[in-house]
Amino acid sequence: MSDNKILVDVNNLKKHFSKGKDIWGRNTSVLKAVDGVSFQIRQGETFGLVGESGSGKSTVGRCLLRLYDYTDGEVSFDGQPLSKLGEKQLKPFRRRIQSIFQDPYSSLNPSLSVLDLISEPMKIHGIHEGDERIEAVAALLDKVGLKREHLYRFPHEFSGGQRQRISIARALSVKPEFVVCDEPISALDVSVQAQVVNMLEDLQSEFGLTYLFVAHDLSMVRHISDRIGVMYGGRLVEVAGSDELYENPIHPYTKALLSSILETDPKRANQRIILDGYSAEYGRAETSTLQEVSPGHYVAYDFTE
């Protein structure tokens, strides 16, 4: 993995939202949803992004997709900065960068059949025509565990897990290189979650995909990710290899987050850590720099109260 090229490079990314304006149209307060995040994703790997609700992880994903314009910083894909590109210039990158969202029902147009939903991106990017396009869609359905007979059905006729499989097939329809998985299993039944994650791993291996995997389920993130970044308050506080992060967490927020994982074995049950606020060493500051504490393991140490 270390020999693979850097596909996604996020450098000091910031996304601030206005919470209100005065009578002159000036911002009266600002929500710093993402506030100086930097990381890289190598081709073929899965980078997991975890944190509590409101930590900014989904906003990072939407910035990578250019669904949001950045307040500051830059996202480069395959060496190309994306912030200055207009919609026409972005179109080739839209094909190479796809997404899978949390709620498969709201992300699928209920008035379109499965065939239309999956073939729509093909039409936009000029991939296949006529019967060839239908066969391509049928082949994608087979890849995600659905059948040809589902081509002419509509989203409401499927279960949540099946709808998410349709969303995955749609994302793969234009043969992307990078997929932002924004909590793709959190709306699914527990019995289905593992099936979908295993399928994503199989598809990654078959098509050489690179993933950003945003999720709440910490145990599932460990299973699918090569490296994991932990977000708190719009910032990355720790980045490490999957096993290293879970076995040797350093930042107190990471330790508290991992202590919330539910253990089914009472003998291995975690002692829940409740944070009342960071010490002077780890408190919140205007800037935060990740420092390497061991090979591939980075921690934010310059937080101050």
pLDDT tens per residue, range 161-180 = 999 999 999 999 999 999 99
Residue 93 has pLDDT above 90, yes or no: yes
Average pLDDT estimate for 29-39: 92
Residues making up the chain, counted from first to last: 305
Q: What is the largest CA-CA distance in the chain?
A: 65
Number of domains in the chain: 1
pLDDT tens for 206-223 read 999 999 999 887 888 999
Give a yes or no: residue 160 inside a domain.
no
Tens-place pLDDT, residues 267-290: 555 566 666 554 434 444 444 578
129 falls within a domain: no
Examine residue 66 and state whether it is found in any structural domain, yes or no.
yes
For residues 10 and 56, the answer to whether their CB atoms sit within 8 Å is no
pLDDT of 46: 97
More confident residue, 257 or 118: 118
Residue 229 lies in a domain: yes
Is 169 inside a domain boundary?
Answer: no
User: What average pLDDT score do residues 227-233 get?
Assistant: 94
CA distance 92 to 241: 31
Residue 166 inside a domain? The answer is no
Neighbours of 71 (CB within 10 A): 16
Domain that includes residue 48, residue range: 6-106+176-300
Mean pLDDT on 97-105: 90
What CATH number should be reported for the domain holding residue 276? 3.40.50.300
| Residue 44 included in any domain | yes
Q: Band the pLDDT of 302: cuts 50, 70, 90.
A: low
219 located within any domain: yes
pLDDT, one tens digit per residue, over 117-149 is 999 999 999 998 899 999 999 999 999 999 999
What are residue 113's phi and psi, to 5 degrees?
A: -75, 165
Q: Token pair of 226, please?
A: 């090569």
In 3D space, the residue among 95, 99, 101, 141 whose CA is nearest the CA of residue 121 turns out to be 95
